Amino acid sequence: MTQQKPLSMTVYKIFAYGFSTSLLLSLPAHAEKNNETPQIIVTANRTANTIDETLAAVSIITKEDIQRIQATSVMDILKTTPGLDFSSNGGMGSTQSIYMRGTNSDQILILIDGVPSGSATLGTTPFENLPISQIERIEVVRGPHSSLYGSSAIGGVIQIFTNKGQQGQHSFTNAGYGSDNTREVNAGISGGNQSSAYSFSIGYQDTDGYNVLGNTYPDTDDDGFDNTSLSLGGSHQFNDQFKISGSFLYSEGKNEYDRGLLTKETHAHFKEQIASITADYQFNDFYATQLLLGQSVDDSKDHPGGTASNDRFKTTKEIMTWKNEFIIRDQDFLTIGIDYLDESINSTNDYSEDSRWNKALFSQYQYYGDVFDVKIAWRYDDNESFGSHNTGSIAIGFDLDKHIRVTTSWGTAFKAPSFNDLYWPQQSFPSFFYTYEGNPNLKPEESESFEFGLSGNFKSVSWTAHYYQTNITNLISNQGQLNPVTFFWEERPENIGKANIDGIELTLKTEILNWIVQGNISHTNPTDDETGNILPNRSEDQFRLMMDQTHGQFSYGASLIASSERYTSSNRRVAGYGITNLRAAWKVNSNWTIKAKIDNLFDKDYATTESFLGLPFHAQDRFVFASIQYEM
């Protein structure tokens, strides 16, 4: 039966009224164009473009945004981004999943300084293990981008940039303490001149956590988390033509979680490591080339019940990208490049295959006219596991006048099966009369998407509106049958699923009575073609409103985050929620700043997913955190 999903209409109407009122109050400012310097984004086109030239739906999160929100995790800041939905198995360090425009969490490509990251066995990236203190900037590009990046970019691409150096000498240190005995300390130094730059920072984060499954579960201990991290960055411009830059991110720690009916103190050790080096050479005004070499490591060891035994899953990804850019005329740009990716795994499980390579050729043509822009991209992938695959896209932009811009795009994308999908070794669970194994004959999941957008930019207000539609075929879904001889239920993944997704995103940024107001509303309809149900763990409606003001040495702000109900994979309803976060900062002088925040001010008890027993994974309750920072 198709799920019916009544919203908490009273709450949602209030939020929608506030959003529309903000828009109406800002209408008198429409007479003049925004004079701010356009931000540069590199992820959408694999080339540097100003955000007003980009034909994709893009969100940019800066270091200033991270500090203003007082984010203590990557998910804290991503929760403010339009088009993203989330599910969480608990608090800090617990498994976090992102759904972009209704697509699966493994249908988003995650890059760190240009290097693909995450687990090749699961096909996802552990955001919970990435230290927010080492991050300088995040670019979120919504919509299919396999025509530039290959596998996984069905929903979009999220690229995380680690701390970088800048001219002059800078240093900082900060320390904080909060609820659940949460402790944090960070320090760093950076500097540079006209030709060189460097950055080094370290961080430590620790929390006792809380009992994620509550008192209804036999395991009543808190689920703690700790993370030690460091990052290095550097660059040198040898001359007007040649530049080399590099980066390194390292993060390791332990997270505790509940597993099994009577198992206590289950925890996992993790390590994330990403390194890259990039060489840029500008031959002349018409041709430039770039070579990127990178490696990422995702290493996890589970220790059931606190024992010395462990289940290990280690992924190593090595990438080489050679990109060539040609300026045909002042308005015409051509990009041609090759990608090579080698994935290997090391596990206590005996996979039938433990490595694979992917070779790719990609190309892109961009034209920027006075009122008309176009982008055409094509990519050919050759994968050791499933053979070749072609993807393509086209996007068009048109300026109705100096204030209003129209965009439309079409694109195809795909998601390669994970090592678990393909090569998971056959395992039997006699007590459950159950057997599971991978399927080496799986094909990639495929998608086709269409999008239409409007955007406006005026003196003190900017807004966007996007409608999108995505059809996904060959979705990988577990299928089973009863063995008449053993009476075991035998299950393995098959390419049988289909999904239809359509949705709308609205964003607004303006200034009202000296308050900087930013809001977005997302409505998504991610439907399983076979059942007509909403895809699991996804809500249909999300609302975010951020308001901030600076008054002399003081700044303060609030965030409202709301989500409608969702359904689990077992078709159980999880109620919607709305939470309010408050923050304040006092810049004592040019060096010292004191900050404090309260997340989930009204102590809302809510969940976004549940355990296999049907028990909710309780989200963080009221969380108070204060910190002090010294900069020079």
The enclosing domain of 520 has a CATH number of 2.40.170.20
pLDDT at 1 over 90: no
Q: Which residues contact 64 (CB under 8 A, 6 or more apart)?
A: none
Q: Which residues contact 440 (CB under 8 A, 6 or more apart)?
A: 352, 353, 385, 422, 423
Q: Is 529 exposed, middle or buried (0-12, 13-18, 19+ CB in 10 A)?
A: middle
229-238, 256-265, 464-473: least confidently modelled range: 256-265
Place of tokens 């890059």: 111
Give the best-scoring range by mean pLDDT among 11-15, 33-37, 58-62. Answer: 58-62
Q: Is 366 a member of any domain?
A: yes
Place of tokens 């207000």: 461
Q: Is 1 a member of any domain?
A: no
Q: Is 83 a member of any domain?
A: yes
Higher-scoring residue by pLDDT: 480, 351: 351
pLDDT digits (tens, 9 = 90+) for 308-329: 557 899 999 999 999 999 999 8
pLDDT digits (tens, 9 = 90+) for 478-493: 888 888 888 888 899 9
pLDDT at 24 over 50: no
Average pLDDT, the chain: 90
pLDDT at 460 over 90: no
Q: Is 611 a member of any domain?
A: yes
Higher-scoring residue by pLDDT: 157, 216: 157
pLDDT at 16 over 70: no
Confidence class for position 2, pLDDT limits 50, 70, 90: very low
The C-alpha atoms of residue 355 and residue 120 are separated, in whole angstroms, by 10
Helices marked H in 283-351: none
The token pair that represents 172 in the structure block: 């900082």
The C-alpha atoms of residue 45 and residue 366 are separated, in whole angstroms, by 9
Q: Is 280 a member of any domain?
A: yes
Q: Estimate to the nearest angstrom the gap between the alpha carbon of 540 and the chain centroid.
A: 19
- The pLDDT score that the predictor gives to residue 414 is 97
What is the model's pTM? 0.92
The C-alpha atoms of residue 312 and residue 309 are separated, in whole angstroms, by 10
Domain that holds residue 285: 9-631
pLDDT at 35 over 80: no
Task: Single out the residue of 182, 69, 72, 51 nearest to residue 128, CA to CA.
Answer: 72
- The pLDDT score that the predictor gives to residue 261 is 52
The C-alpha atoms of residue 272 and residue 309 are separated, in whole angstroms, by 21
pLDDT digits (tens, 9 = 90+) for 420-450: 999 999 887 776 788 989 999 999 999 999 9
Mean pLDDT of 136-164: 96
The C-alpha atoms of residue 200 and residue 154 are separated, in whole angstroms, by 34
Q: Hey, how many other C-beta atoms are within 10 angstroms of the C-beta on 253?
A: 21
pLDDT at 344 over 90: yes
- The pLDDT score that the predictor gives to residue 259 is 63
Mean pLDDT of 39-61: 91
Mean pLDDT of 296-315: 81
CA angle 329, 334, 336 (to 5 degrees): 155
Q: Is 537 a member of any domain?
A: yes
Q: Is 4 a member of any domain?
A: no
The C-alpha atoms of residue 173 and residue 194 are separated, in whole angstroms, by 25
44-58, 133-147, 375-389, 499-513: least confidently modelled range: 44-58
Higher-scoring residue by pLDDT: 301, 451: 451
- The pLDDT score that the predictor gives to residue 265 is 64
Mean pLDDT of 586-605: 97
**SS3 (DSSP) at 195:** coil
**Strand partners of residue 431:** none
The C-alpha atoms of residue 207 and residue 212 are separated, in whole angstroms, by 13
Contact in structure between 358 and 341 (CB atoms under 8 Å)? yes
Please state, for a pLDDT cut of 70, what percent of the chain lies above it.
91
80-84, 293-297, 367-371, 433-437: least confidently modelled range: 433-437
- The pLDDT score that the predictor gives to residue 486 is 82
**SS3 (DSSP) at 432:** helix
Q: Is 2 a member of any domain?
A: no
The C-alpha atoms of residue 424 and residue 438 are separated, in whole angstroms, by 4
614 Rama sector, left if φ>0, alpha if ψ -120 to 50, beta otherwise: left
pLDDT at 334 over 80: yes
Contact in structure between 418 and 152 (CB atoms under 8 Å)? no
Number of domains making up the chain: 1
Place of tokens 């966007």: 464
Q: Which residues contact 25 (CB under 8 A, 6 or more apart)?
A: 510, 512
